């Protein structure tokens, strides 16, 4: 499997959020409380591996994300509706960028459909997990976890 570092995932996620919704991210000190985050999961499959990408964010960040994506005021956004839809779209885009970073145009990958989940899956034996924790300039956390398993 090609290496995928936490710095790679953080950089890709930061670039996407900056371009998509004008949200700037920086490395996070400590860890976010998982119970306070909303979670999305998407899977991808390649010739040598399969993986799950979990992306988690606070309701505050999802309101800002959805508001910026939709071009509406934040008070018109419900984190559990538009916010979660924006999170799923973010998962879809981040996953596509991860696939591009891993294989470029030379390797064929297939990507699943993002879904809202209640929690992050535990790590299976033999899996490689990459975790990137970031926060917006307002302190709203975002976490991306990629769990990769070899198909060989």
Domain spans of the chain? Answer: 6-150
Kindly report, residue by residue over 102-135, the tens digit of the pLDDT: 886 778 899 999 999 998 877 777 788 888 999 9
What does the pLDDT read at residue 114?
98
What does the pLDDT read at residue 152?
59
Q: Of all helices (H) and strands (E), which one includes residue 22?
A: none
Is 15 in a helix, a strand, or coil?
Answer: helix
Q: To which residue do tokens 């919704």 refer?
A: 21
- The two tokens of residue 56 are 């988690």
What does the pLDDT read at residue 125?
76
- The two tokens of residue 102 are 């891993």
d(CA 117, CA 99): 21
| pTM exceeds cut of 0.85 | yes
Other Cβ atoms less than 10 A from the Cβ of 81: the count is 11
What does the pLDDT read at residue 49?
87
d(CA 83, CA 9): 21
Report the top-level CATH class of 6-150.
alpha beta
For the chain, which residues score pLDDT lower than 50?
none
């Amino acid at each position: 499997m090609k290496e995928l570092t936490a710095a790679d995932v953080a950089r890709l996620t930061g670039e996407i959020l900056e371009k998509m919704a004008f949200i700037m991210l920086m490395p996070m000190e400590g860890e976010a409380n998982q119970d306070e985050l909303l979670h999305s999961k998407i899977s991808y499959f390649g010739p040598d591996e399969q993986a799950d990408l979990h992306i988690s964010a606070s309701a505050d960040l999802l309101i800002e994300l959805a508001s910026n994506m939709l071009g509406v005021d934040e008070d018109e956004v419900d984190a559990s509706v538009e916010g979660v839809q924006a999170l799923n779209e973010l998962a879809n885009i981040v996953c596509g960028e991860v696939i591009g970073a891993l294989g470029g145009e030379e390797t064929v990958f297939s990507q699943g459909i993002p879904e809202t989940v209640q929690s992050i899956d535990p790590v299976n034996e033999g899996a490689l997990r990459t975790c990137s924790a970031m926060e917006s300039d307002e302190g709203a956390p975002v976490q991306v976890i990629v769990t990769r398993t070899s198909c060989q």
